[in-house]
Amino acid sequence: MTSNYFSTINNLQTKHTYKNLILISLLTILVFSIPHISYSQEKKTEQTWELPEIKNSSVVVKTETNYSEINDTIPIRGTQYMIRVPEAWNGILLNDLDYLQSANSERNLHLLEEGYALSGTKRRPDRFSNYDPAHEIHDIISVLDIFEKTFGKPKHTIQLGCSGGGTITLAMAEIHPDRIDGGIAGCAATSAWMANTHMDALFVLQALIAPKLPIVGLPLKGKRIEEIELSWQKAIKAAQQTPEGRARIALAFTIGQWPAWGAAWMEPFPQPDVNNADELQESMYKCLIKLLPSQKAFGTGMLEQSGGGQLRFNDGVDYTEYYKNGNPDFKKAVEKLYKKANIKLEDELIKINAAPRVKANAKALNYWSSPGRTHIGEPKIPLLRINTTGDGLVYPSMAQGYGELVEEKGYSKLFRQAYVNSWGHCTFSLAEWLAAIETMVQRIENGEWPNTDPKTLNSLGKSLDAESDVRYIDYKPVGKYNRTWSPSVDNFIEKQK
């Protein structure tokens, strides 16, 4: 049995070759003895393929498709996984980091009925304390190995996923093009980019509104983070009551390149008119209250816990330049609000640039520089990236930044990007997913991209599922993304200064 997974086992500890051969033999026996379950089903299920920040209504899904199923764990690592192959398989495999927990979702049952095979894992239970997308990729490749050994090599393999599943999809397209034919990455994070983008707006708020409140080195849980959250909320609510504070909040969103509509842990509200400065600023404020440091907003802290140190940095950053790169509509609103507040924007930018800077820990940068843990904008197979415009966790500006890096590196022929006008993280409809999948299938089979403009994608989505919303739109959130970062050779050398 030959695979990256098994080769890795052998290469890690050559002095234990005999032990490794025993492990591989056990795995071989396991794969050949995996039970197949073939049956029809009728299930009432939650749409668990969306993340839980948006309430998912129960749906009754009926499928008469006969399929073979494997539900087991990967030997050695113990990660749970599932594979389903319909009796009338079309030869295409869709592989997803989160497949096991979403196998009975509306989307995945629909795809099974349409003839797609589906496979993937369940996220590991230690993910919060030991997050490592490189290990998740390791598991995903193991599932591909098991699939091919059991069912044969697919005609096409498409890696897809949302959030962390989108993160590993980007990486798979860059470093494992031999294992997949295409990738669809939804609301995908790049760890260092996300950490710094999350910090920039907070840095502005700290410099101008709350200089004594912390934004880095925060505890993940406990009384201290609760106190910090309350203090930040008090400071921002007070600032919102003054013209100066409202202007500064708008400036923070513009420099930080945060979306003005879309936040975690709150119900959606109507989109603001971007041409109305007061309405846009009010929307920013509502979102900000949920984006301040808190026990729930643990994303960056989780990254730093895994990487062993401070990942965020802004030493050498020119925040005047960052402001210039901001969303043009946001900048117009900022200038109106500053004029109304009768304070000079230029003086505020000078004050922000003069504030004490944050430096990254070399160990953390070393950890997150490794292949599989970051992205460098070099997809080797067709890659479609989709993002919701109201994503308060993985901001749409990050998606734009990846497209800019791909173009800079010369890989644009393999890359397309599309935005869905939806509140929330990974809140794609069934039709929007189906349009993305069909677009990727056409690209793989024809060797050329079909049209990926919003009108075409919406028409395609409606033709595949007339009951779903399709909300692809033309969208460019910022002038240029500020936080693109690719590791240099120095980042691979763990060295404390």
Q: What is the CATH number of the domain that holds 64?
A: 3.40.50.1820
**Can you give the pLDDT at residue 51?**
32
Residues 227 and 323 in one domain: yes
| Mean per-residue pLDDT, 26-32 | 42
Is residue 480 assigned to a domain? no
Query: Could you tell me which residues come within 8 angstroms of residue 340 by beta carbon, excluding any fewer than 6 positions away?
Result: 243, 247
Query: Is the sign of the CA dihedral 82, 83, 86, 91 positive or negative?
Result: positive
CA end-to-end distance (rounded Å), the chain: 46
**Can you give the pLDDT at residue 21?**
36
Is residue 490 assigned to a domain? no
Tokens standing for residue 28:
């071989």
Residues 350 and 376 in one domain: no
Is residue 51 assigned to a domain? yes
End-of-domain residue from the set 339, 367, 395: 367
Q: For residue range 60-106, what is the model confidence (pLDDT) as tens digits?
A: 445 567 999 999 999 878 899 999 999 999 999 999 999 999 999 99
Domain total of the chain: 2
Is residue 4 assigned to a domain? no
SS3 389: strand
Query: Could you tell me which residues come within 8 angstroms of residue 474 by beta carbon, excluding any fewer than 6 positions away?
Result: 419, 453, 454
12 to 6, 20, 21, 344, 359: CA distances (angstroms): 10, 10, 13, 59, 33
pLDDT at 270 > cutoff 50: yes
Find the angle CA(373)-CA(266)-CA(96) to the nearest 5 degrees: 35
Residues 297 and 322 in one domain: yes
Is residue 497 assigned to a domain? no
Residues 63 and 184 in one domain: yes
Task: Please answer whether residues 151 and 117 qualify as being in contact, where contact means their C-beta atoms are separated by less than 8 angstroms.
Answer: yes
Q: What is the pTM of this model?
A: 0.87
Residue 476's Cβ-side half-sphere holds a number of Cα atoms within 13 Å equal to 10
What is the distance between the alpha carbons of residues 290 and 296, in angstroms, rounded to a whole number?
A: 9
Residues 147 and 291 in one domain: no
**Can you give the pLDDT at residue 8?**
34
What does the radius of gyration of the chain's CA atoms come to, in whole angstroms? Answer: 23
For residue 319, the one-letter residue type is Y
Is residue 25 assigned to a domain? no
435 to 58, 120, 458: CA distances (angstroms): 23, 21, 8
166 to 53, 97, 186, 367, 416: CA distances (angstroms): 17, 9, 5, 20, 14
**Can you give the pLDDT at residue 64?**
66
Residues 198 and 271 in one domain: yes
Task: Please answer whether residues 392 and 352 qualify as being in contact, where contact means their C-beta atoms are separated by less than 8 angstroms.
Answer: no
pLDDT at 17 > cutoff 50: no
| Mean per-residue pLDDT, 409-432 | 97
- Looking at 240-354, list the stretches that DSSP marks H as alpha helix, in order from N- to C-terminal side: 243-256, 277-291, 299-307, 319-324, 328-341, 345-354
**Can you give the pLDDT at residue 30?**
41
Residues 312 and 442 in one domain: no
| Mean per-residue pLDDT, 396-415 | 98
For residue 262, the one-letter residue type is G
**Can you give the pLDDT at residue 75?**
83
Give residue 490's pLDDT band: very low, low, confident or very high (50, 70, 90).
confident
Residues 122 and 262 in one domain: no
Print the domain residue range for 296.
193-367
**Can you give the pLDDT at residue 63?**
59
Residues 336 and 450 in one domain: no
What is the distance between the alpha carbons of residues 265 and 53, in angstroms, rounded to a whole number?
A: 6
Tokens standing for residue 278:
């007061």
End-of-domain residue from the set 325, 344, 367: 367
Is residue 283 assigned to a domain? yes
End-of-domain residue from the set 327, 350, 367: 367
Q: For residue range 315-340, what is the model confidence (pLDDT) as tens digits?
A: 999 999 999 999 999 999 999 999 99
Residues 401 and 436 in one domain: yes
Residues 106 and 165 in one domain: yes
Is residue 485 assigned to a domain? no
What is the distance between the alpha carbons of residues 179 and 176, in angstroms, rounded to a whole number?
A: 6
If one counts every other C-beta atom within 10 angstroms of the C-beta of residue 224, the result is 12
CA dihedral 129, 133, 138, 142 (to 10 degrees): 90
Q: For residue range 160-180, what is the model confidence (pLDDT) as tens digits?
A: 999 999 999 999 999 999 999
pLDDT at 197 > cutoff 50: yes
What is the distance between the alpha carbons of residues 172 and 136, in angstroms, rounded to a whole number?
A: 11
Residues 231 and 263 in one domain: yes
| Mean per-residue pLDDT, 252-260 | 98
Task: Please answer whether residues 84 and 95 qualify as being in contact, where contact means their C-beta atoms are separated by less than 8 angstroms.
Answer: no
What are phi and psi for residue 121, nearest 5 degrees?
Answer: -120, 180
Please, what is the average pLDDT of the chain? 88
